Amino acid sequence: MKLIIRQYVAGLRERSELDAVLPDLLSQMGLVVYSRPGRGTRQDGVDVAAVGSLDGGPEKVYLFSIKAGDLSRKEWNGDSIQSLRPSLDEIIDSYIANRISPEHRKKKIVICVTFGGDVQEQVRPQLKAYIKKNTNRKVSFEEWNGDKLASLIQSNFLREDLIPESVRSNLRKTLALLDEPEAAYGYFATLAETLDGTFSNDAERIRAMRQLSVSLWILFSWSRELGNLECAYRASEITILHAWNIFRFFGGKNTKASEACRDALISIFQAYRQINTEYLAKIIPHLQSLHALSAAVQGGSSLDVNFKMFDLLGRIALSGLWSYGAALQCAGDDKFRSDQLLAEAAGTAAGVKALISNNPVLYSPIKDDQATDIALAAFLMLVNGDDRLALGTWLREMFQRIRLAFATNERYPCTKELYSDLLEHPVSKEAKYRESVTNASVLYPLMALIATLLKDDKLFTDLASLQSEILTYSNFQLWFPDDATEDNLYTNRDLHGISLCDLSLQSGPEELLKQLSAECDQSPQLWKLSCVQQGWWQLVLVACRHYRLPIPVHLLKGLGETTESGEENSNTGAE
Amino acid sequence: MNPPDDVLAVLKAAKGNDAVLGALLKLRPTAEAERKSFISQIVSLHNSGEINLFTEFLKLRNDQQAPDFFYARFIFEEAFPKLEGASLEATKCTIHLITEAGQDLVAHTPANAFRLFLDASPTRPNEVLALIEQDPVALSMLLPVTIAAGFARDRASFTKEVVRLSQAPTIDLRRPAVFSLGSIELLEREEVPEEVISALETAASEVNDDGVLAAAVTAATAIFREHRKGASRLEKVIRDALEKGGEWTLDAASSALAIRSGKLGQPLVELLAGRLREVPLANAGTINRIDLGISALLNSASRDVVLTLLEAILRRSPLDKQLKTFASARSTILASPALLSKVVTRWIATGEGTLCKAAADLVQEASHRDPIIEADADELPLKDEGSLAFTARKAVGYLFFWPVTAASFVVSLMRLGAVGSLKQLLLDPLLLNYTGSVQEFLQKRLKSEPEAVSEGIVECIQAMEDYLTKVRSGADLRELRPSEAQRSAFHRSFSQKMSNSFETAQAEMPLLSLVRRSIVLHGRGSVQHVAHQDGSLHRADMMFKTLGAEMEFPRMGRIDEMGMQLRLRRLQAERKAK
């Protein structure tokens, strides 16, 4: 296990990645972290500062200066302001003198030179000389290299008495099968579910959160090294969802335990976003090339391309919606940042458009649950006013293809979900078979809702005629969270939510919107979800994408109108 | 060889058991010389009264039981011309053996033996004619052959007889009599007797019975000689009969087209073809004969007429039947590259779904031999840019799955103009879908094409390479690859589908039902020891040959299957601008 962790620590490429893990580690070791890394700033050479006692010794102040990877000559004393020696000088000259708070001034200080790898041999004499020169009664130095960090992580998070063997085993299996993402994800999901078990106290909760965090970071590091982030992506989703499930127990309280838990959640979120970013960084260069992503699937069947492209659509759109949500959150306080984030969301929406136009399989949904990916993309395109036209074009072409699929009896959208079933779909041209696999649908009412929001009467009428001419027997429905949703949304342990059934498109778009609005009013549970209440409403989308649930209508139905300035009504999830 | 006494003894014994025919089959030698002798023996036994072959063969049934009906009947046919006996008995036995054979292709062969039987005695035609007149319902089937035999003996009196019978009140007599008017054998320069033409005119104009009208068509077409005296009157007979006649008459017309197509002349072919357009599609026999007629005339001056007839029938045919029912015509078209090019161009240029689909069926079969089919400029009604582009789109829409054929067709259209719009079609969907075969074909063509076409091709190939470069840039995205479980599921499903289609194909191969198949588990050949009649063994070894087929799947079939289908359907559904 230590080798696994050692490789993970060495694989952390950015300082910020080590930053994210170290505070959790220190907290778990019993230290009190009083200074954490902030965005783009360091406090006189210190990345993390903590105070406390280790191994029963006296309380000391621990000041960490962090570098990723090996400590080379360049890292030690290069031109960069991030070089270690200038940072250590700053700590000695400025931090110790000015920034240690009065209650810790009498304590001994340990400056921890921290890096994920090793000290390269050519730097070793200089480091030793520096430490010898600057060590005194008050100040001492410790070298926290990759090996030490690995030992500490193992002993504090993954020790046998802290974590069940099954979890460690699942982590090992996950890492062994990273090039088989489906199987690897299965093991990691079991790991996450096991860690999100029953807790008897807050300490257990906090430890589980930190174990989730470390496991995810380890997985990420290994995945990146291997060049395949697929498992890491899916694992990051289930990790953040389970993490929230643990965190929600604190109900927004401001206790020490809840703070510690929040720190772990943030660490997990950072991993989630980092994985997201790196995943998309691999995809984005190919978005503008016709068929490049479709061809990259390299499967034997068109079904492979279909599955992957719709999945990718949902992922990209979700990323844009995180940016959009973050922009709304900081709109009041930081206009510049908010604009930056909105631009990021708009860029992602442009990516969604490019993905659709260059990978035309996205005009042909085959599974009804691909409505979730379509809804995510539509959500992003609706909030980004410029993309409404493209959204309408996409859905109209999609409708044409669906009509053709029904007319020719070939690969029309159905409720089957298993790959092997869909490979043979449609197995028969008989009406009985068709009815059995199209007897319910979220896809068409969702398309009708979007048509309503876009004021696209032609598309709505076409969908209505599809319902009245071909799918008369089909139960058109949309999903709404209910009282059981809060307890199950993040874990999918049980059924939850209710479906508004037998939606008719025959009375026109206004009537549909009226009906849906009324049901939204009747089902306000969405707004009471802990993640929505605390401003993390995108987690609802993550859960819906991950567990293949329809996106709640509440989030979409208000996106029909645009303001005079061209900005859309926003759905922040916090009514 | 069996001595006569042995044969007699065996047959007498068999007669007791009512098993004469079985015994005949057992006794019949296989070597021809011995068989002839055997036939002479049984003829002698019949003529001497030891056995009565007519009585025995009247018992023969085509009921899948021993003795084998057709083998046994063949003995009768061989012996029949030399048999003596009552004409009535012979006539009844012949009719029995014909009717018992049902719809078999060789059902009527006993009639040939009957003719030889009639020819063997000068009185028999008259005797049989009298018998037929007495019992037309039972015996009229043999009237034509009797009349033909009579014509050979005494044409003048038999002409009178047949003209008389052609106006008989009994329809059962009248139909074969009118039919028999066509049996008259004329010398090279001889004109058709006036009374025969008159009788046919009477039949065609005064009778409404479909059988009589059909017989009139058959008889008139049989004795019709273009540019000869009476030709116009016979043509009128045919026209009148076709106007009034029903399915039977149509069938007679189809037979005329099939059997006498070379002698009819273009006006008469047009007349028959015009009426045959309305043939009911359920009449498989009639359709088969039309097919034969079309096939015979495709390489004649009447090609346009028969192609128009074929097109008219195809337009009314269900899409899944279509050219399948015109095996002979299809085979004739496929045998000639020039004719194939002409027909494919003609049908594609119409833009009609039915005909384009038929063209695609032809291409499917032709592409195995030579995938290159070029447009025949003579068959293009318009050669302006819009019309050429329309034809090219239709060709791509319907011939997409035979990419080299489609590409060769489009390139040949590019030579006629419209390079700008056609090269785009050449690139997408053809080159982008078939980066292998189509590119290879175009590279070969580069040097031989006119400059403007070559330039267009070079641009297309360059655009395709740019596309492929971009597409390949994402090849290392391991995140997007399907899981092992999905790959396995796909391979299982694919293997199953291949296996099923192999079995279906095997089931459709009649040859396989005739041979014994055996499985060899190891090795690259097989050895068997085959026993000869003398008991010696012959070592027969056979080395296996490997057979394979190569197929290029369109790229979009995997990248965007429904999009590809939609695009093809849009190309197929496009209508010609008025």
Choose the weakest-confidence range: A136-145, B35-44, B187-196. Answer: B187-196
Chain B hits for A359, CB-CB cut-off 8 Å, are: 559-560
pLDDT over threshold 60, residue A567: no
pLDDT of residue A42: 59
Is the minimum CB–CB distance between B478 and chain A shorter than 8 Å? yes
pLDDT over threshold 60, residue B69: yes
Q: Which residues contact B239 (CB under 8 A, 6 or more apart)?
A: B271
Single-letter code of the amino acid located at B546: T
State mean pLDDT over B439-452.
92
pLDDT over threshold 90, residue B45: no
Is the minimum CB–CB distance between A155 and chain B shorter than 8 Å? no
Phi, psi angle pair for A408, to nearest 5°: -100, -5
User: pLDDT tier at A41 (50, 70, 90 boundaries)?
Assistant: low
Could you tell me which residues are beta bridge partners of residue B539?
A: B529
User: pLDDT tier at A565 (50, 70, 90 boundaries)?
Assistant: very low
pLDDT of residue A467: 97
Among the partner residues B471, B489, B493, nearest to A292 by beta-carbon distance: B471
pLDDT over threshold 70, residue A422: yes
- B261-316 residue pLDDT tens: 778 888 899 999 999 998 998 898 999 999 999 999 999 999 999 999 999 999 98
| DSSP result, B426-440 | IIIIIIHH-TTHHHH
pLDDT of residue B65: 81
Is the minimum CB–CB distance between A284 and chain B shorter than 8 Å? no
CB contact under 8 A, A364 and B482: no
Q: Percent of chain B, pLDDT > 70?
A: 98
pLDDT of residue A43: 77
Choose the weakest-confidence range: A151-165, A468-482, B303-317. Answer: A151-165
State mean pLDDT over A131-143.
93
Contact, A213 vs A21, CB < 8 A? yes
Residue B224 vs residue A555, higher pLDDT: A555
Among the partner residues B474, B557, B562, nearest to A295 by beta-carbon distance: B474
Locate the DSSP E strands across A371-484.
Answer: 440-441, 475-476, 478-480
Chain B hits for A305, CB-CB cut-off 8 Å, are: 558-560
pLDDT over threshold 60, residue B217: yes
Among the partner residues B474, B490, B562, nearest to A301 by beta-carbon distance: B490
Chain B hits for A401, CB-CB cut-off 8 Å, are: 562-563, 566
Whole-angstrom distance, CA of residue B269 vs CA of residue B272? 5
- A282-323 residue pLDDT tens: 999 999 999 999 999 998 889 999 999 999 999 999 999 999
CB contact under 8 A, A404 and B494: no
Rounded to the nearest integer, the mean pLDDT of chain A is 90
Most confident of A167-181, A368-382, B206-220, B522-536: A368-382
Residue A469 vs residue B167, higher pLDDT: A469
pLDDT over threshold 80, residue B5: no
**How many Cα atoms occupy the beta-carbon half-sphere of A374 within 13 Å?**
29
Is the minimum CB–CB distance between A291 and chain B shorter than 8 Å? yes
pLDDT of residue A502: 95
User: pLDDT tier at A463 (50, 70, 90 boundaries)?
Assistant: very high
- A170-179 residue pLDDT tens: 999 999 999 9
Q: Percent of chain A, pLDDT > 90?
A: 69
Phi-psi category of residue A548: left, alpha or beta, with phi > 0 → left and psi -120 to 50 → alpha: left
Q: Percent of chain B, pLDDT > 90?
A: 46
User: pLDDT tier at B501 (50, 70, 90 boundaries)?
Assistant: confident
Whole-angstrom distance, CA of residue B334 vs CA of residue A86? 86
User: pLDDT tier at A372 (50, 70, 90 boundaries)?
Assistant: very high
CA B262 to chain CA mean position, Å = 18
CB contact under 8 A, B471 and A312: no
pLDDT of residue B234: 92
Kind and range of the H or E run holding B34: helix B32-47
pLDDT over threshold 90, residue A382: yes
Q: Which has the closest alpha carbon to A194: A236, A239, A261? A: A239
pLDDT over threshold 50, residue A568: no
Q: Percent of chain A, pLDDT > 70?
A: 95
Is the minimum CB–CB distance between B475 and chain A shorter than 8 Å? yes
Whole-angstrom distance, CA of residue A552 vs CA of residue A481? 7
pLDDT of residue A452: 96
State mean pLDDT over A487-507.
96
Chain B hits for A295, CB-CB cut-off 8 Å, are: 471-472, 474-475, 555, 559
Rounded to the nearest integer, the mean pLDDT of chain B is 88
State mean pLDDT over B29-45.
84
Q: Least CA distance to B489: which residue of chain A? A: A420
State mean pLDDT over A492-504.
96
pLDDT over threshold 50, residue A575: no
Give the closest-approach CA distance of B476 to chain A in angstroms.
7
State mean pLDDT over A432-461.
97
Is the minimum CB–CB distance between A472 and chain B shorter than 8 Å? no
Phi-psi category of residue A317: left, alpha or beta, with phi > 0 → left and psi -120 to 50 → alpha: alpha
pLDDT of residue A38: 64
pLDDT of residue A14: 67
Chain B hits for A405, CB-CB cut-off 8 Å, are: 562
Chain A hits for B491, CB-CB cut-off 8 Å, are: 300
Whole-angstrom distance, CA of residue A131 vs CA of residue A129? 5
Choose the weakest-confidence range: A350-354, B305-309, B336-340, B507-511. Answer: B507-511
pLDDT of residue A447: 98
Q: Which has the closest alpha carbon to A267: A42, A16, A536, A529? A: A16
pLDDT of residue A56: 85
State mean pLDDT over B129-143.
89
Q: Which has the closest alpha carbon to A493: A197, A170, A208? A: A197
Q: Which has the closest alpha carbon to A451: A526, A372, A398, A373? A: A398
Length in residues, chain B: 578
pLDDT over threshold 70, residue A15: no
Residue B397 vs residue B223, higher pLDDT: B397
The pTM of the full predicted model, rounded to 2 decimals, is 0.80
pLDDT of residue B578: 65
pLDDT of residue B156: 85
Distances (CA, A) of A556 to A372, A467, B79, B473: 12, 22, 94, 36
CB contact under 8 A, B479 and A292: no
Whole-angstrom distance, CA of residue A420 vs CA of residue B491? 11
pLDDT over threshold 80, residue A17: no
- B337-396 residue pLDDT tens: 999 999 999 999 999 999 999 999 999 988 877 889 999 999 998 888 899 999 999 999
- Please report the number of interchain residue pairs, chain A to chain B, with beta-carbon separation below 8 angstroms: 144
pLDDT of residue B4: 59
**How many Cα atoms occupy the beta-carbon half-sphere of A376 within 13 Å?**
32
Among the partner residues B474, B482, B491, nearest to A292 by beta-carbon distance: B474
pLDDT of residue A498: 95
Most confident of A299-303, A479-483, B544-548: A479-483
pLDDT of residue B95: 93
Could you tell me which residues are beta bridge partners of residue A66?
A: A114
Residue A494 vs residue B34, higher pLDDT: A494
Whole-angstrom distance, CA of residue A345 vs CA of residue A137? 54
CB contact under 8 A, B477 and A293: yes
pLDDT over threshold 50, residue A563: no
